[in-house]
């Protein structure tokens, strides 16, 4: 190293290519000052002039690379605007983005299916040009299996996209996505689902609640003593959901 150092320093002074010069330039791109004049290099941060331990330089560079990628992503067109709005959303439940990282053995077709849904929901120009019209319902057997509009037994009744009986004509909005009448627990549950745009998630939730206010009142009169609940499961076009959705799913199916 004692032989190489003078040679590289001389090359740098004469304006030729030098490993030391390249190292300084590389470090400056990540906010580091790297003066290679000591036996032990002294690395400092350009923003606050703090010393960076040599043993932690790898962690520092990893963080700097991540921050640089984030800034580059923010500067992009539609994707930058969408993700910036998502990062600044205080109501979003961040666990809805990390669940796939816990599934270490996720099948390839599952990941491919999620990517397909992501592209369909975004509705970009490229998607319209390349994929619109190429998919049919016959490609997926699950699409052909739809739930029955009415299921009923001695313990309850479930209506799927079917209006419950209403005595008053004022109740025009009475067609919820799913209505469950639990006779054992004396509870009527209205379930609404929607997939709005990113910035419209909270607005859509309020709209659903106000839309079926008269229906909830009518059901409370039709089923005296029953508890009337409405759950709005709103998941936006990029897969984001508020923390209320997780609590709603936990109440509905007992998990989460």
pLDDT at 190: 92
Q: Chunk the chain into consecutive blocks of 10 residues (it has 256) and report each block's average pLDDT, rounded to whole numbers.
A: 65 68 71 64 62 69 78 75 70 64 75 69 60 57 66 88 60 78 91 84 87 88 91 81 79 65
Element (H, E) at 105: none
**What span, in angstroms and rounded, lies between the C-alpha atoms of 183 and 180?**
9
Predicted local confidence at residue 151, as pLDDT: 86
DSSP per-residue codes, 123-179: T-HHHHHHTTTS--GGG-GGGG----SEEE-SSEEEEES-PPP-SSTT------SEE
Q: Is residue 188 within 8 Å of residue 182, measured between CB atoms?
A: yes
Q: Which residues of 209-247 are buried (b: 16+ CB within 10 A; e: fewer)?
A: eeebebbeebbeeebeebebbbbbbbbbbbbbbbebbee
Q: What was the pLDDT predicted at 42?
A: 62
The DSSP secondary structure of 79-92, one letter per residue, reads HHHHHHHHHT-SSB
pTM: 0.50
pLDDT given at position 105: 80
Six-digit token string for 11? 């090359």
């Amino acid at each position: 190293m004692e032989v190489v150092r003078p040679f590289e320093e001389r090359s740098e002074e004469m304006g030729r290519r030098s490993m030391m010069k390249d190292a300084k330039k590389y470090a400056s791109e990540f906010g580091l000052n790297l003066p290679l004049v000591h036996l032990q290099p002294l690395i400092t941060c350009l923003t606050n002039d703090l010393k960076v331990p040599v043993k932690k330089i790898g962690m520092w560079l990893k963080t700097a690379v991540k921050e640089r990628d984030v800034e580059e992503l923010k500067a992009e067109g539609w994707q930058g605007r969408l993700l910036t709005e998502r990062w600044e959303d205080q109501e979003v439940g961040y666990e809805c983005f990390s669940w796939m990282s816990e599934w270490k053995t996720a099948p390839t077709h599952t990941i491919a299916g999620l990517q397909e849904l992501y592209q369909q929901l975004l509705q970009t120009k490229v998607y319209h040009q390349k994929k619109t019209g190429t998919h049919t319902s016959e490609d997926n057997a699950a699409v052909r299996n739809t739930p029955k509009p009415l299921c009923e037994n001695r313990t309850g009744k479930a209506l799927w996209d079917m209006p419950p009986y209403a005595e008053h004509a004022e109740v025009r909005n009475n067609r919820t996505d799913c209505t469950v009448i639990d006779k054992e627990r004396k509870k009527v549950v209205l379930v609404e689902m929607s997939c709005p745009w990113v910035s419209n998630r909270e607005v859509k939730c309020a709209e659903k609640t106000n839309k079926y206010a008269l229906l909830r009142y009518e059901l409370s009169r039709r089923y005296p003593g029953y508890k009337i609940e409405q759950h709005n499961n709103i998941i936006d076009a990029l897969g984001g959901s508020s923390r209320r959705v997780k609590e709603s799913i936990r109440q509905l199916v007992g998990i989460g």
